[in-house]
């Protein structure tokens, strides 16, 4: 059979996730990876998992293993409502829906909203997982500028004036890939803009709970509740393998997103949702989150210290108070792909930043470094090795 | 905001699952439901779940909670390869992929293959979940005839001659909604046809393990391996709330289906896949499956007996040796929607069969009865009550 002929036209936009392809190199034995975008397994609450499982079996018994509502397992939605309250978002349990990771809601949003050629406004660079959720629906991307304080509001305003934007997609706090956080002043300004332009904004917030210093900044959703779909996940504060994402959206969109998800996977694992409910309910998260932060905070500091120590002065990085990444910029025209190849040969991997830009000419001199997967000594050693590779690049 | 304006054009085909809407009525207190399409919670291996959890924690530890391959958790794929061998399907672990329920692969197939207006050949009636996975991609449906031996091959042949068919979708064994099974002679004939016409066929097989009498019939996949994507699930033989589906497809399509799934949910819950791996590996399925069959077999018999006893002679039903459903046909023009309303008033729900047809004029005199969720005495009572409602319908 000639299978190629069967593919739908949309598949031309579906490329293998470049990062995953790059990570294949990383699995070479002996290579230290600062390329990952995943939490450390040491951050998982393994010591209490069994206790949580026993509570689930006792409290929910067979109902934790049965089909459940597409909207989500109600005891979890109740807990998520309380969690969002701590982030200043007022959402009833009924208006919070659970998805199979935050990827699940990105897919549903794309399926529900994007017609071919619709314009999506993205900050440059952007989160790759979102782009891979949007691509199959054949949108056009409108890029917006960002700096160390996140998206530049004037750039959003220009996009809204010059284009019919279907929605804006942002990771406003500790962004992947840059680690940057949108300042509160800009959040207010952006809220004002989207309200004035009747624009919908997707606020993807996987990282805000991982703040190592500085003060919490309220989500964009709090400044423009009717214009924002707020997305978050338990992947970084519980366990990613359980695939628990969630969102709070305006009611009309929620109803449709649930209908969309029904055709995709019926519902998210009941058992895993029950585990998450007990994790939140039992005060486990409250006790465990400080341990996760205590694990990552010195790793971040070790990376900053090592860059200060080893990197040339014309290499700069974004200040970031939390999350999982630091973003490095080399001198203009410095080719990070070239550095990447040298660096992997020298035993250290990272992600060249150009992969995070929809404009293929951008970001050639940037890289993303992850600090959650390696300990402080390894980070120091790895950054030193990268610096050595940099010195081979003239 | 005017949210309606944001919806993509494809949403006009996304309707609420009619069955789920109907089931809302069912949750009225005191109503006995033969309307469900779900396994009995008594069929879940609750007595061994904790043992399986302990094995997972011991054998996989934190890796059961980490991100994993989109393709699926390798220890599970190894077990699924052995399971498929018992169904005469030879697939290496590498060529079996795991999805979030079988709904997950139906969604990926639709997303990968269906361009607007593409023709999908469906037996009439068909499984609703598949239709709700396909609809958002705006296909056209070509209906094919079936009888008590399943799809009529001549009808498929006509479809293949008269139309450019993107793929054929069948549930050949203990079909939902009819309970019908495609005979071996027809399987061979259909395999011949799809090979001759270079056609792709989706074989959805959630039920074949639930055979209460008669001999196993080899999957269609065994007769035309290159032309068939074989889909199955652990929902009916382990627990549906874990959302574990899987498929064996030609390599080219597998590669693309994995890429598609990557944008949808990254991967299926690692923890649940690990539970499934241990369930299959530890011989638990082997020990537990006879118990599930021993639970359902007398329920099926009770339903057949009750229909023989109470239903008028001009009501006939499909013989079915397994699965979860029996399919009833009333006299021509008998309105099952009318009966449904009376029957719910009288305290018993079922699903009027017309919802399973893409041609809205078909199936008005049919109904689907489920026998997995009620015990024998309840089934006898419920069928008697339906018969009483029938007598009120003249």
Q: At B18, which CATH number?
A: 3.90.1150.10
Write out the two tokens for A282.
Answer: 């039992």
When pLDDT is averaged across residues A131-157 and rounded to a whole number, the result is 96
Nearest to A66 among B10, B41, B63 (CB): B41
Q: Which residues of chain B make contact with A235, given a CB cutoff of 8 A?
A: 67
Nearest to B200 among A1, A62, A235 (CB): A1
| pLDDT tens column, A353-366 | 999 999 989 999 99
Tell me: do A144 and A67 sit in the same domain. yes
| pLDDT tens column, A213-263 | 999 999 999 999 999 999 999 999 999 999 999 999 999 999 999 999 999
A134 has a pLDDT exceeding 80:
yes
How do strand B316-317 and strand B325-329 relate by DSSP bridges? Answer: antiparallel
Tell me: do B168 and B210 sit in the same domain. yes
Write out the two tokens for A45.
Answer: 């609450």
Tell me: do B231 and B160 sit in the same domain. yes
- Between chains, do A264 and B16 touch, taking CB under 8 Å as contact? no
Tell me: do B133 and B267 sit in the same domain. yes
Helix axes B74-85, B270-281, angle to 10 degrees: 40
Q: Does B12 or A340 have the greater pLDDT score?
A: A340
- Which of B236, B256, B285 is a domain's end point? B285
- Which of B240, B255, B285 is a domain's end point? B285
Nearest CA in chain B to A239: B65
Tell me: do B80 and B23 sit in the same domain. no
Tell me: do A85 and A33 sit in the same domain. no
- Between chains, do A38 and B67 touch, taking CB under 8 Å as contact? yes
CA distance A171 to A230: 10
Per-residue pLDDT, A384: 98
- Between chains, do A265 and B265 touch, taking CB under 8 Å as contact? yes
Picking from A266, A274, A277, A278 by the largest number of B CB atoms within 10 A of its own CB, the best residue to mutate is A266
- Between chains, do A14 and B100 touch, taking CB under 8 Å as contact? no
Nearest CA in chain A to B43: A62
Tell me: do A246 and A293 sit in the same domain. no
- Which of A238, A264, A284 is a domain's end point? A284
Q: What are the C-alpha distances in Å from B186 to residues A1, A244, B63, B176?
A: 22, 43, 45, 18
| Residue A345 neighbours by CB under 8 Å, 6+ apart | none
- Between chains, do A253 and B3 touch, taking CB under 8 Å as contact? yes
Q: Which residues of chain A make contact with B264, given a CB cutoff of 8 A?
A: 103-104, 107, 133, 264
Tell me: do B29 and B59 sit in the same domain. no
Domain count, chain B: 2
| Residue B235 neighbours by CB under 8 Å, 6+ apart | A67, B39, B101, B102, B206, B242, B243, B244, B245
pLDDT-derived band at A23, boundaries 50, 70, 90: low
- Between chains, do A3 and B66 touch, taking CB under 8 Å as contact? no
Among A77-81, A135-139, B58-62, B390-394, name the one with the lowest average pLDDT: B390-394
Nearest CA in chain A to B128: A263
Please tell me the distance in Å from B151's CA to the nearest CA on chain A: 23
Per-residue pLDDT, B347: 95
Does residue B322 have a cis bond before it (omega within 30 degrees)? no
Tell me: do A18 and A82 sit in the same domain. no
CA distance A111 to A132: 12
pLDDT-derived band at A11, boundaries 50, 70, 90: confident
3-state secondary structure of B245: strand
Tell me: do A204 and A108 sit in the same domain. yes
Query: Nearest Cα to B139, choosing from B116, B170, B121?
Result: B116
Which long-range CB contacts under 8 A does B293-297 form with residues at least 24 apart?
B293/B210, B293/B211, B293/B212, B295/B40, B295/B42, B295/B43, B296/B40, B296/B43, B296/B210, B296/B212, B296/B324, B296/B371, B296/B372, B297/B212, B297/B213
Q: How many CB pairs under 8 A join A and B?
A: 230
Per-residue pLDDT, A25: 65
Per-residue pLDDT, A12: 78
Q: Which residues of chain B make contact with A268, given a CB cutoff of 8 A?
A: 100, 243
Q: So what's the ipTM on this one?
A: 0.96
CATH of the domain at A90: 3.40.640.10
A212 has a pLDDT exceeding 70:
yes
Per-residue pLDDT, A28: 72
Q: Which residues of chain A make contact with B111, given a CB cutoff of 8 A?
A: 8, 10, 136
Which long-range CB contacts under 8 A does B92-97 form with residues at least 24 apart?
B95/B248, B95/B249, B95/B251, B95/B254, B96/B72, B96/B246, B96/B247, B96/B248, B97/B71, B97/B72, B97/B246, B97/B247, B97/B249, B97/B254, B97/B257, B97/B258, B97/B261
pLDDT-derived band at A13, boundaries 50, 70, 90: confident
A20 has a pLDDT exceeding 70:
no
Picking from A20, A108, A241 by the largest number of B CB atoms within 10 A of its own CB, the best residue to mutate is A241
Place of tokens 């694992």: A269
Per-residue pLDDT of chain B (394 residues; tens, 9 = 90+): 889 999 998 887 776 566 666 666 666 778 999 998 899 999 999 999 999 999 999 999 999 999 999 999 999 999 999 999 999 999 999 999 999 999 999 999 999 999 999 999 999 999 999 999 999 999 999 999 999 999 999 999 999 999 999 999 999 999 999 999 999 999 999 999 999 999 999 999 999 999 999 999 999 999 999 999 999 999 999 999 999 999 999 999 999 999 999 999 999 999 999 999 999 999 999 999 999 999 999 999 999 999 999 999 999 998 899 999 999 999 999 999 999 999 999 999 999 999 999 998 999 999 999 999 999 999 999 999 999 999 998 6
Tell me: do A112 and A201 sit in the same domain. yes
Per-residue pLDDT, A113: 97
- Order of all β-strands in the sheet with B244-248: B96-100, B244-248, B228-233, B201-204, B165-170, B119-123, B140-144
3-state secondary structure of B12: helix
pLDDT averaged over every residue in chain A: 95
- Between chains, do B262 and A167 touch, taking CB under 8 Å as contact? no
| pLDDT tens column, B345-387 | 999 999 999 999 999 899 999 999 999 999 999 999 999 999 9
Per-residue pLDDT, B357: 95
Q: Which residues of chain B make contact with A57, given a CB cutoff of 8 A?
A: 46, 49-50
Nearest CA in chain B to A254: B3
pLDDT-derived band at A393, boundaries 50, 70, 90: confident
The range of the structural domain enclosing residue B38 comes to: 3-44+288-391
- Between chains, do A271 and B67 touch, taking CB under 8 Å as contact? no
Tell me: do B78 and B224 sit in the same domain. yes
Nearest to A250 among B3, B17, B136 (CB): B3
- Between chains, do A241 and B66 touch, taking CB under 8 Å as contact? yes
Per-residue pLDDT, A27: 64
Nearest to B269 among A107, A111, A272 (CB): A272
Q: Which residues of chain B make contact with A65, given a CB cutoff of 8 A?
A: 41, 44, 46, 49, 239-242
- Between chains, do A10 and B167 touch, taking CB under 8 Å as contact? no
């Amino acid at each position: 059979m000639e299978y190629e002929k069967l593919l739908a036209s949309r598949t031309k936009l579906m490329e293998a996730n470049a990062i995953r392809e790059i990570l294949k190199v990383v699995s070479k034995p002996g290579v230290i990876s600062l390329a990952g975008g995943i939490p450390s397994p040491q951050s998982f609450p393994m010591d209490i998992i069994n206790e949580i499982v026993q509570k689930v079996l006792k409290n929910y018994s067979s109902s934790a293993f049965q089909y459940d509502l597409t909207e989500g397992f109600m005891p979890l939605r109740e807990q998520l409502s309380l969690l969002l309250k701590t982030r200043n978002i007022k959402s009833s349990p009924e208006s919070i829906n659970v998805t199979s990771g935050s990827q699940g809601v990105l897919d549903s949003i794309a399926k529900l909203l994007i017609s071919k050629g619709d314009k999506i406004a993205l900050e440059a660079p952007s989160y790759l997982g979102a782009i891979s959720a949007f691509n199959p629906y054949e949108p056009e991307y409108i890029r917006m500028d960002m700096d160390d304080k996140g998206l530049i509001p004037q750039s959003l305003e220009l996009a809204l004036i010059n284009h019919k934007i279907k929605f804006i997609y942002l990771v406003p706090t500790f962004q992947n890939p840059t680690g940057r956080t949108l300042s509160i002043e800009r959040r207010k300004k952006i809220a004002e803009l989207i309200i004035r332009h009747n624009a919908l904004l997707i606020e993807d917030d996987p990282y805000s709970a991982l703040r190592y210093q500085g003060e919490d900044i309220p989500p964009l959703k709090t400044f423009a509740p009717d214009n924002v779909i707020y997305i978050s996940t338990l992947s970084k504060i519980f366990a990613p393998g359980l695939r628990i994402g969630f969102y709070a959206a305006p009611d009309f969109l929620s109803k449709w997103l649930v209908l969309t998800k029904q055709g995709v996977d019926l519902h998210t694992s009941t058992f895993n949702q029950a585990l998450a409910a007990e994790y939140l309910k039992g005060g486990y998260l409250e006790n465990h989150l400080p341990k996760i932060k205590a694990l990552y905070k010195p790793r971040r500091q070790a990376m900053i210290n090592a860059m200060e120590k080893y990197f040339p002065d014309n290499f700069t990085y974004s200040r970031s108070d939390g999350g999982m990444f630091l973003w490095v910029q080399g001198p203009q025209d410095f080719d990070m792909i070239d550095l990447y190849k040298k660096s992997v040969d020298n035993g250290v991997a990272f992600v060249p930043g150009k992969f995070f830009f929809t404009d293929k000419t951008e970001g050639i001199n940037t890289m993303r470094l992850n600090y959650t997967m390696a300990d402080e000594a390894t980070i120091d050693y790895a950054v030193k090795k990268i610096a050595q590779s940099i010195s081979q690049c003239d």
